[in-house]
């Protein structure tokens, strides 16, 4: 273990102050000369045929610059859902037309002048109903693929099941026969929104050459570039996407509901166009997490060893087909050695808001089922739930349900850490109180990232990255740079470039940005160090291998007075060196996994009069590989737990006839500080194989166990097993009353 000066330290976030003081610039803060404003006409119905669409009155309104309908879409790719409804609307809130006008009021007025006749169809709003043979078919083109083992078959009958997979191994029936106990339960989770701070917005300018410049919230500027270029049918390098600050994203800003249409408006009008969603639009017009239904049958011996699992996952993906629950089944079922497994997966379309990714997509839902079942098994076998898990937990050499063999992982270490924590903690006393534990697993992604390091004339160092900073990675990457040069953090600038100025970085998603970028940045720093060493050696008149470099200073070995500083070399490089400015590049790619595990503990109190669940304390343990900046990691863990508690206890997309009934933050309640306890964090550092620091991802694992942790704690407090989210006072009270 090397001794670090900057890594592993609690550096404050570089963006904290500008965000806390309201000075950071978000998309809606940007303006351009001659800018006009775009607004969206949305369907009031969840399912309807468009029989007439007349934009002539809107187009004739003074101040209206353009009206665009599906007829104007340039987009050719058949794989992405249309951004504007054509012939038929399939969810309430679906965009039907967009308008650009010289001010937002005229744009709004123009929306009212667009005449749409709808022939209302019966909406499909329940996934189980939607799967039935006699269900109303939303997309007659969908002929379900069945993927069974290695077989793929395309069906012939129209269906609302957009994706169906069956897989497994071993002999499940035999496994259940060998079990001393078999539990079968069905778990249900609700649609929830990512709940970021600012609503989706975009500003697009198209110059006379056709180059498109976009300011928008996104988890990856390069992806926005690709999506918009595809939509506009132009090459990606004709699109430039600018970085903006973001008030959270959590998977919700991978999709781009506005930018392509806004770009089309800008291209049509020759004017910069800004579009900003209202909060209601953001709820109904973006991509929340799907509602899910998981039936899980689990068998175990009385010694507490799992013998078989069969699972059926049904994902209500909303109005557009998505392949979404397969990954959920893998990350949900790979924590324990399961000798026999059978999985059936169904992604189902309904006439509800189309869904997308939300922090560890599918994993929290799967863990709600799996970790609830494990808890029930432990109870039935009267085993300590952590002991039960330790007995079955995977470790290096075991394989996940998709066959991937685990490299070095820290699941057992994390379970152990939580066990130690529980042993020494002060237990909650009193009636109606209980504790629950649950675990989470996330594979983590890798992918292509690059970094560019420039040495400034005063010896300060600037790092240019193309990846988005969602979680504070500008700060942790600054620490990586500081460590390489031994110079203080105030001499490091980390800047998110745009798609033209920055080197490529993949999507900030999948808990991978810092893990990949720390490697790329390290490599770029090595290039810079090589150049510095060369220059130092020529300046000091010695060979490179006679030099040491520490704390921003080169020194000739054995001659402590013969030194030259990074600062002096930097000055020389721009003032008189033949070689010129010192810069370095580093890239990383590939797909080496660095799996992550988390173990959570909650202590709750249930008010039996009102059904209200109060979370008394919460502790999240997680293997982070190596904590470059513990404060940032803890912040992510605390944020994720907060979100998970919201999902467990409060949040819900309430639909009636496919129309969301609560598209605002009064009726869709997210937890605030008063709803949450202080969230303790325990960092476990089992180095991954990711060079040079052994970091793992962080962002997603702390969301995964929360739903089950709270459910398990409620069981502990009340003896009641809740299998449906959210566990609001009403549902808890109803369960109490029904018992």
Q: Contact with its own copies (CB under 8 A): which of 220, 452, 619, 709?
A: 452
Q: Which of 347, 352, 393 is nearest to 370 (CA)?
A: 393
The string of DSSP letters for 368-397 reads HHHHHHHHHHHHHTT--HHHHHHHHB--TT
Nearer to its own copies, 100 or 161 (CB): 100
Determine the Cα–Cα distance for residues 407 and 404; give it in Å rounded to an integer: 9
Q: Which of 600, 608, 612, 607 is nearest to 675 (CA)?
A: 612
Nearer to its own copies, 460 or 553 (CB): 460
Strands 461-465 and 492-496: parallel
Span interacting with its own copies, options 130-138, 154-162, 204-212, 702-710, rule CB under 8 A: 204-212
Nearer to its own copies, 581 or 719 (CB): 581
Decide if residue 478 touches its own copies (CB under 8 A): no
- 506 Cβ contact list (under 8 Å, min separation 6): 220, 222, 445, 447, 448, 449, 467, 512, 516
How near is the Cβ of 255 to its own copies at its closest, in Å? 19
Q: Contact with its own copies (CB under 8 A): which of 2, 78, 140, 235?
A: 235
Q: Contact with its own copies (CB under 8 A): which of 589, 635, 692, 729?
A: 589
Q: Contact with its own copies (CB under 8 A): which of 207, 233, 530, 691?
A: 207
Other Cβ atoms closer than 10 A to 132: 12
Q: Which of 192, 220, 278 is nearest to 646 (CA)?
A: 192
Nearer to its own copies, 27 or 355 (CB): 27
Q: Contact with its own copies (CB under 8 A): which of 137, 146, 305, 448?
A: 448
What is the separation of C-alpha 464 from the centre of its chain, rounded to a whole number of angstroms?
A: 23
Residue 453: which H helix or E strand, with range?
strand 449-455
Span interacting with its own copies, options 82-90, 335-343, 501-509, 730-738, rule CB under 8 A: 501-509
CB 351 within 8 Å of CB 139: no
How near is the Cβ of 392 to its own copies at its closest, in Å? 34
Determine the Cα–Cα distance for residues 479 and 273; give it in Å rounded to an integer: 38
Q: Where are the alpha helices (DSSP H) in 27-98?
A: 56-60
How near is the Cβ of 26 to its own copies at its closest, in Å? 10
Nearer to its own copies, 310 or 688 (CB): 688
Q: What is the DSSP letter of 537?
A: H
Q: Contact with its own copies (CB under 8 A): which of 10, 86, 237, 279?
A: 237
- 434 Cβ contact list (under 8 Å, min separation 6): 428, 603, 604, 606, 713, 714, 715, 716, 717, 718
Residues 510-569 that bind its own copies (CB under 8 A): 520, 527
Nearer to its own copies, 452 or 709 (CB): 452
Residues 10-39 that bind its own copies (CB under 8 A): 14, 17-18, 20-21, 23-25, 29, 31-33
Nearer to its own copies, 224 or 659 (CB): 224
Q: Contact with its own copies (CB under 8 A): which of 321, 440, 472, 503?
A: 503
Strands 655-656 and 659-660: antiparallel
Determine the Cα–Cα distance for residues 334 and 313; give it in Å rounded to an integer: 15
Nearer to its own copies, 426 or 591 (CB): 591
How near is the Cβ of 237 to its own copies at its closest, in Å? 4
Strands 273-276 and 36-42: parallel
Nearer to its own copies, 34 or 122 (CB): 34
Assign 91 to helix, strand or coil.
coil
Q: Which tokens sit at 554?
A: 């080169």
Decide if residue 77 touches its own copies (CB under 8 A): no
Q: Which of 594, 587, 250 is nearest to 396 (CA)?
A: 594
Decide if residue 475 touches its own copies (CB under 8 A): no
CB 633 within 8 Å of CB 624: yes
Q: Contact with its own copies (CB under 8 A): which of 162, 460, 471, 643?
A: 460
Q: Contact with its own copies (CB under 8 A): which of 1, 578, 609, 673?
A: 578
How near is the Cβ of 34 to its own copies at its closest, in Å? 9
Span interacting with its own copies, options 110-118, 426-434, 487-495, 553-561, rule CB under 8 A: 487-495
Nearer to its own copies, 558 or 590 (CB): 590
How near is the Cβ of 588 to its own copies at its closest, in Å? 5
Decide if residue 506 touches its own copies (CB under 8 A): yes
Determine the Cα–Cα distance for residues 85 and 83; give it in Å rounded to an integer: 7
Decide if residue 177 touches its own copies (CB under 8 A): no
What is the separation of C-alpha 390 from the centre of its chain, rounded to a whole number of angstroms?
A: 28
How near is the Cβ of 82 to its own copies at its closest, in Å? 24
Assign 527 to helix, strand or coil.
helix
Q: Is 514 left (phi over 0), alpha (psi -120 to 50) or beta?
A: alpha
Torsion of CA 702, 703, 704, 707, to 10 degrees: 120
Decide if residue 495 touches its own copies (CB under 8 A): yes
Q: What crossing angle do the helices spanning 363-380 and 706-718 adopt, rounded to 10°?
A: 30
How near is the Cβ of 7 to its own copies at its closest, in Å? 21
Residue 177: which H helix or E strand, with range?
helix 172-177
Determine the Cα–Cα distance for residues 531 and 39; give it in Å rounded to an integer: 52
Decide if residue 458 touches its own copies (CB under 8 A): yes
Decide if residue 498 touches its own copies (CB under 8 A): yes
Q: Contact with its own copies (CB under 8 A): which of 178, 404, 493, 538?
A: 493
Nearer to its own copies, 357 or 577 (CB): 577
Assign 174 to helix, strand or coil.
helix
Decide if residue 226 touches its own copies (CB under 8 A): yes
Q: Contact with its own copies (CB under 8 A): which of 497, 635, 677, 692?
A: 497
Span interacting with its own copies, options 286-294, 430-438, 588-596, 640-648, rule CB under 8 A: 588-596
Return the sign of the alpha-carbon dihedral for residues 516, 521, 524, 529.
negative
- Count the site residues for its own copies by CB under 8 A: 64
Nearer to its own copies, 31 or 656 (CB): 31
What is the separation of C-alpha 172 from the centre of its chain, rounded to a whole number of angstroms?
A: 33
Decide if residue 501 touches its own copies (CB under 8 A): yes
Q: In what side-by-side order are the strands of the sheet with 547-550?
A: 547-550, 553-556, 559-565
Count of helices and strands (H, E) across the chain: 18, 30
How near is the Cβ of 224 to its own copies at its closest, in Å? 13
How near is the Cβ of 181 to its own copies at its closest, in Å? 45
Q: Which of 627, 312, 313, 582 is nearest to 457 (CA)?
A: 582
Q: Contact with its own copies (CB under 8 A): which of 416, 456, 631, 657?
A: 456
Peptide bond into 391 cis (omega under 30): no
Nearer to its own copies, 18 or 56 (CB): 18
Nearer to its own copies, 206 or 277 (CB): 206
Decide if residue 79 touches its own copies (CB under 8 A): no
How near is the Cβ of 143 to its own copies at its closest, in Å? 29
Decide if residue 457 touches its own copies (CB under 8 A): yes
Q: Contact with its own copies (CB under 8 A): which of 80, 432, 462, 565?
A: 462
Q: Contact with its own copies (CB under 8 A): which of 426, 591, 737, 738?
A: 591
What is the separation of C-alpha 104 from the centre of its chain, rounded to a whole number of angstroms?
A: 32
> What is the binding site for its own copies (CB under 8 A)?
14, 17-18, 20-21, 23-25, 29, 31-33, 207-209, 222, 226, 235-237, 240, 448-450, 452, 454, 456-458, 460, 462, 464, 490-491, 493, 495, 497-498, 500-504, 506, 520, 527, 573-585, 587-591
């Amino acid at each position: 273990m090397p001794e670090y000066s900057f890594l592993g330290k609690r550096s404050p976030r570089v963006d904290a102050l500008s965000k806390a003081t309201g000075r950071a610039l978000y998309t809606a803060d940007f303006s351009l000369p001659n800018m006009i404003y775009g607004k969206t006409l949305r369907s009031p119905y969840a399912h309807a045929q468009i029989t007439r669409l007349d934009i002539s009155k809107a187009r004739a309104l003074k101040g209206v610059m353009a009206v665009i309908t599906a007829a104007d879409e340039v987009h050719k790719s058949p794989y992405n859902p249309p951004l504007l409804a054509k012939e038929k609307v399939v969810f309430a809130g679906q965009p039907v037309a967009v308008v650009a006008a010289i001010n937002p009021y005229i744009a709004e007025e123009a929306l009212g002048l667009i005449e749409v006749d709808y022939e209302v169809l019966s909406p499909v709003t329940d996934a189980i109903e939607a799967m039935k043979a006699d269900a109303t078919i939303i997309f007659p083109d969908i002929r379900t693929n069945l993927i069974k083992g290695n077989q793929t078959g395309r069906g012939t009958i129209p269906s609302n099941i957009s994706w169906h997979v069956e897989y497994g191994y071993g002999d499940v029936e035999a496994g259940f026969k060998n079990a001393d106990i078999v539990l079968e339960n069905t778990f249900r989770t609700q649609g929830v929104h990512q709940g970021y701070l600012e609503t989706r917005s975009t500003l697009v300018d198209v110059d006379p050459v056709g180059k498109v410049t976009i300011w928008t919230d996104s988890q990856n500027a390069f992806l926005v570039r690709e999506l918009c270029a595809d939509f506009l049918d132009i090459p990606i390098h004709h699109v430039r996407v600018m970085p903006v600050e973001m008030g959270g994203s959590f998977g919700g800003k991978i999709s781009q509901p506005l930018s392509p249409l806004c770009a089309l408006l800008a291209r049509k009008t020759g004017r910069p166009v800004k579009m900003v969603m209202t909060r209601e639009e953001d709820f109904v017009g973006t991509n929340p997490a799907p509602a899910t239904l998981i039936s899980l049958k689990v068998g175990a011996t009385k010694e507490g060893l799992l013998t078989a699992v069969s699972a059926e996952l049904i994902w209500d993906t909303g109005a557009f087909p998505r392949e979404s629950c397969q990954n959920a089944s893998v990350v949900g079922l790979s924590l324990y050695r399961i000798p026999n497994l059978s999985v059936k997966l169904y992604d189902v379309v309904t006439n509800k808001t189309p869904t997308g990714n939300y922090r560890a997509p599918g994993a929290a839902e799967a863990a709600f089922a799996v970790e609830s079942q494990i808890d029930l098994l432990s109870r039935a076998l009267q085993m300590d739930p952590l002991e039960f898990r330790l007995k079955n937990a995977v470790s290096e050499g075991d394989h996940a349900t998709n066959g991937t063999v685990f490299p070095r992982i820290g699941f057992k270490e994390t379970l152990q850490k939580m066990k130690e924590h529980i042993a020494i903690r002060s237990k909650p006393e009193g009636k109606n109180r209980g504790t629950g534990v649950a675990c989470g697993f996330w594979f983590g992604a890798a992918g292509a990232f690059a970094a560019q390091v420039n040495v400034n004339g005063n010896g300060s160092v600037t790092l240019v990255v193309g990846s988005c900073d969602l979680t504070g990675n500008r700060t942790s990457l600054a620490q990586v740079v500081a460590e390489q040069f031994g110079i203080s953090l105030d001499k490091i600038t980390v800047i998110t470039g745009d798609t033209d100025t920055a080197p490529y970085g993949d999507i900030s998603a999948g808990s991978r940005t810092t893990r990949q970028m720390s490697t790329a940045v390290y490599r770029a720093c090595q290039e810079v160090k090589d150049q510095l060493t060369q220059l130092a050696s020529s300046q000091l008149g010695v060979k490179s291998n006679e030099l040491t470099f520490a704390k921003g200073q080169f020194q000739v070995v054995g001659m402590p007075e013969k030194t030259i500083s990074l600062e002096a070399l930097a000055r020389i490089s721009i003032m008189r060196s033949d070689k010129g400015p010192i810069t370095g590049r580093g890239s990383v790619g590939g797909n080496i996994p660095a799996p992550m595990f988390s173990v959570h503990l909650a202590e709750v109190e249930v008010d039996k009069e009102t059904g209200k669940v109060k979370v008394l304390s919460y502790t999240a343990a997680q293997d982070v590989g190596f904590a470059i900046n513990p404060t940032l990691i803890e912040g992510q863990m605390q944020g994720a737990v907060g979100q998970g508690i919201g999902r467990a206890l409060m949040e819900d997309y309430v639909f009636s006839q496919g129309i969301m009934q609560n598209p605002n933050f009064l009726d869709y309640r997210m937890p605030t500080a008063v709803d949450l306890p202080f969230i303790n964090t325990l960092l476990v550092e089992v180095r991954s194989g990711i060079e040079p620091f052994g970091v793992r991802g962080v962002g997603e694992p702390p969301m995964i166990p929360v739903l089950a942790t709270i459910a398990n704690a409620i069981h502990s407090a009340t003896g009641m097993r809740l299998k449906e989210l959210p566990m609001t006072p009403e549902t808890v009270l109803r369960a109490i009353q029904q018992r």
